[in-house]
Structure 1
Amino acid sequence: MEKNINNTQFFTVQKEPELQVSDVLEIVYKALKEKGYNPVNQIVGYIMSGDPTYITSHNNARSLIMKVERDELVEEVLKTYIENSAWD
């Protein structure tokens, strides 16, 4: 059977579900903890410097955090802190 080269073939790729910034922070936090690091210090070091070596590659944490803008990380942390504070 001959294929008709005049017809357009459709190709679809399944997209990976996008992780929320909070999900990325949780994964990175847990990976750092599992490897014996102080997660808060390491994440702060990464946010302040942009140097990905502050984040372990364990569980793909380094790759994940690099997909998120550093200002988005700060925003998420601050938003969560404010939501959980008794400031009102």
Structure 2
Amino acid sequence: MGNDNTIQFDVVKNKKDLTKEILTQVYDSLKEKGYNPVNQMVGYLISGDPTYITNFNGARALVRKLERDEILEEVLKNYLGLK
């Protein structure tokens, strides 16, 4: 009675989903602490200085799980409507 279907793992889709999930959590944490989330995240992406991101809810540790260039790549693709 086992499942004979094979599950396909899509690294690109999973990475995109993870990036979105982390950025959303970081955004929400910054907003909850009273910061302008977009300004703070741009500051982090430009400078690489993690102190732009609050420690609240583990947001700083979360955002550091992602490479800044990969974040920018996903943001640019999303902005341009690319897949």
User: Into which bin does the TM-score normalised by the smaller protein fall?
Assistant: 0.7 to 0.9
Where is the helix percentage greater, Structure 1 or Structure 2?
2
Mapping for residues 27-46 of structure 1, pairs under 5 Å: 27-46=25-44
2:56 aligns to what? 58
State the distance in 2 between where 1:74 and 1:45 align. Answer: 12
2:75 aligns to what? 77
State the distance in 2 between where 1:79 and 1:38 align. Answer: 23
List 4+ stretches of structure 1 deviating above 4 A: none
- Runs of 5+ in structure 1 lacking a partner? 1-17
- Root-mean-square deviation (CA, aligned residues, Å) is 1.8
Task: Give the letter aligned to residue 65 of structure 2.
Answer: K
State the distance in 1 between where 2:72 and 2:62 align. Answer: 16
Range moving further from structure 2, 19-28 or 62-71: 19-28
Q: Report percent identity of matched pairs.
A: 60
